[in-house]
Structure 1
Amino acid sequence: KSLDQVFSMHHRWEVFRGDSTNAGDLLFTVKTTSLIQLKTEMDVFLAGNTAQQVCDFKIKGSYFDRSCVFYLGDSNNMVAQMSRKLTVSNVLLGRDTFSVTVFPHVDYVFIASLVVILDEVHRDKRDD
């Protein structure tokens, strides 16, 4: 899967099948819900949702705290959860690790790709 960032009023990331960037190979789009965010909030739109009026998935939480919840659409139905994994060795070695729990019948590769996008978003903020 390739990841291209498209600049707009909201940060937007498009994920395509393979190395393609053709519109027909678009898998999903992720958008921040506002330009300035104190907490993480992102909307995910599957390729078939071209109107993008209502999101297919939503990510809410605090990436800084490594605590985010992935919801089905605009509902309270959780499909995955990410949390910081604190251990003595991680703290002493300065490692930043977290765990991701993916609920049954949810595509774990899809959730993993969303976690990668979250990391890229916050890496970009750290590099600014």
Structure 2
Amino acid sequence: MATGHAPGNPIPAVRTYPPVEHPVVVIGPQYLAQYPVELAVSTKLWTLGENDFKVSDINGTLIFQVKSKLLTLHDRRFLKDAAGNTLVNLRQKIMTMHPRWEAFRGESKEENDLLFTSKKSKLSQSKTEVDVFLGNNKGEVPDFKVKEGYSKSSRCILLRDSNTMIAQVHGGHTLAIMPNVDYAFIVALLVVILDGIKANDHREGAALKGINGVIDGFASSA
């Protein structure tokens, strides 16, 4: 099983910015940059009902790709580098009271390869707020939080339970990542974020359909 950058695998184009003070490393230090990383998400397949997508830098160079596999009891996604090496596999547990995602290194499913878990925040009324716990965190305080941004398809990723932002998702299709933040980890989190956005769109669509049905019923009986 291969992980990390393969020889000749491209890295995001460089812009010169001062780095943050404390590096955030989850998948690997090779995914730290000393500058803000801007990535574009190609979600054409995702918007057509598929879960695959590609992630490129500001020059259009492929950096990551996400592939999906639908199973009976859970959805499984694979974060791969540009050379096709699996970095992370994510599994969605849906047969639980609180559906959650688990992310493992490479293609492993072993507990000691667990990188992080994510689930809806217990302390928030918002349907979009997500708590993220690193694999070795067995407590109640999350290591990261995902909160809704300025629109329903935008998210802010915060360090612990604070206002320290490490990345933003704009409109579900662009990523702005702070210097010295593991950008592979942020893309892995994007799998969770996009799934949440899609679920919200389905709920809102069903609610709107129900409202329109009631309105049509009143109109036809008038």
> Which residue does the alignment assign to 1:72?
159
Q: How far off its partner does 1:39 sit?
A: 4.5
Find the residue that maps to 2:129 and give its secondary structure.
Answer: strand
Q: How far off its partner does 1:67 sit?
A: 1.3
> Which residue does the alignment assign to 1:119?
194
Runs in 1 of length 4+ with deviation above 4 angstroms? 36-39
- Give 2:142's match in structure 1, choosing from 52, 55, 66: 55
**Alpha-carbon separation, structure 1, partners of 2:170 and 2:180:** 20
TM-score w.r.t. the length of structure 1 is 0.76
**How many equivalent pairs are there?**
114
> Which residue does the alignment assign to 1:94?
none
What residue identity is the alignment partner of 2:101?
W
Residue ranges of structure 1 left out of the alignment (5+ in a row): 85-96
**Alpha-carbon separation, structure 1, partners of 2:145 and 2:98:** 15
Residue ranges of structure 2 left out of the alignment (5+ in a row): 1-87, 207-222
* 1:53-105 per-position Cα deviation (integer Å, ceiling 9, x unaligned): 10000000059732110000001100011112xxxxxxxxxxxx632110111
The RMSD of aligned alpha carbons is 2.4
State the structure with more CA Rg.
2
> Which residue does the alignment assign to 1:105?
180
TM-score w.r.t. the length of structure 2 is 0.46
The structure where strand makes up a greater share of residues is 1
Query: Identity over the aligned pairs, expressed in percent?
Result: 42
Contact 1:41 1:61 survives alignment (8 Å): yes
- Give 1:45's match in structure 2, choosing from 108, 113, 133: 133
The alpha-carbon distance between structure 1 residues 101 and 109, as it changes in their structure 2 partners (threshold 3 A), is same
Question: Which one has more relative contact order, counting CA pairs under 8 Å at least 6 apart?
Answer: 2
Contact 1:17 1:26 survives alignment (8 Å): yes
* 1:14-64 per-position Cα deviation (integer Å, ceiling 9, x unaligned): 000111111111000011115x9655100000011022x100000000597
